[in-house]
Amino acid sequence: MKRLLLLSLGIFLTGAIFAQETVRLANTQATITRDEIIQMGQNANSNRSGVTVLNFEGLGNEDAILEFYNGGLSGLGYSGPNVGVEFQGNALSLIDYDAGGSGNIANEPSPSTVLFFLTGSSAGMNVPAGFSNGFSFFYSANVGAGFVQVYDGLNGTGNLLASATLPVNWNINCTGDPSGGFCHWDPIGVTFSGVAKSVFFGGVANHCVFDEITFGSDVPGYETPVSNWAIFIGIGLILMFAFFRAWRISRA
C-alpha cells in the first residue's frame, strides 16, 4: 500500500514537472549570430560603481559559462570581463527566443541572456579570491522552489554561510516581451559573515533561471538602490532650503 502511494506520488510529481513549461524551448535552433552575441556583451551596461554585476551578456546560447568571467573562454569560445569567477560545467547561459536564442524568458533584468542549467540540481560558481558581506541576484522559477547556498570553501565544501529558499514566481502578473513563459523576476539579497568562496543556484533543472549576480550589494543590478536616491533627494532638499534662506537674508 505504502509502495503504491509512493509510486502514485512519483508519477504525479513527474507529471507535474512535464506539464509545466521549461526554460529552454524544445526543438528551437538559435538564429542569433556570433557577431550579434559579441555586440550584446559590449553594449551591456556595467557602470554601477563599487559593484560587479554578472549579466551574462556576451555569452552564447546554451553555452557553458566556465571561464568566461575568469580571464578565459566559455564553452562556445566567448570571453567576458575577468572578475575572478569560474562556473562549474553544468552552468549554462541562455538567450531569449525573441533575441534569437532558445530561451522561454521575458522581462529578464538585463536583456537578453540569463543563467540556467539542464543537469543536476544547481549551478555552482567559485570565487577563489573569496568575497564577503553579501551579494544579490534576480531569479524566476516554476515547478518547485529554488534555493541559493553560500559556502566558505570551493565547490560547496567547508561551512554553509547562508542559504535562502526561492518561491515559485515565474508568471505572477506578467506577459512576455513579446513571448516568454518565465516573465516574472524577483530580487534576492543574501548577507553573511565570513569569506565566501562558492555559491550554488538551485532548483529543478530547466525550470529556473537567474540573472544579474551582483557582488558588493544586497540590491541586484545596475540601478542605484532606492535608499541612496532617498539620501540624494534629502541632501538636495537641504541645499535648496539653505540656498533659499541665504537668498532671503541677502535681500533683507
Can you give the binding site for Ca ion, defined by CB under 5 A? 55-56, 96, 98, 106, 110-113, 177, 180, 211
- Measure the CA–CA gap between 75 and 5, rounded to whole angstroms: 43
Of the pair 198, 214, the CB lying nearest Ca ion is at 214
Q: What are phi and psi of 66, to 5 degrees?
A: 45, -110
Which residues are bridge partners to 196 per DSSP?
131
Of the pair 62, 211, the CB lying nearest Ca ion is at 211
Closest CA to 195 of 149, 153, 136: 153
The residue whose grid cell reads 565566501 is: 196
Of the pair 97, 131, the CB lying nearest Ca ion is at 97
**Chain position whose Cβ is nearest to Ca ion:** 180
- Measure the CA–CA gap between 15 and 12, rounded to whole angstroms: 5
Shortest Cβ 232–Ca ion spacing (Å): 27
The residue whose grid cell reads 563599487 is: 50
- Measure the CA–CA gap between 150 and 125, rounded to whole angstroms: 10
Shortest Cβ 215–Ca ion spacing (Å): 15
- Measure the CA–CA gap between 106 and 111, rounded to whole angstroms: 9
Of the pair 67, 98, the CB lying nearest Ca ion is at 98
Of the pair 140, 149, the CB lying nearest Ca ion is at 140
Shortest Cβ 121–Ca ion spacing (Å): 22
Of the pair 105, 204, the CB lying nearest Ca ion is at 105
CB 161 within 8 A of CB 150: yes
- Measure the CA–CA gap between 148 and 213, rounded to whole angstroms: 12
Shortest Cβ 23–Ca ion spacing (Å): 12
Shortest Cβ 252–Ca ion spacing (Å): 57
CB 93 within 8 A of CB 60: yes
- Measure the CA–CA gap between 140 and 187, rounded to whole angstroms: 9
Shortest Cβ 84–Ca ion spacing (Å): 19
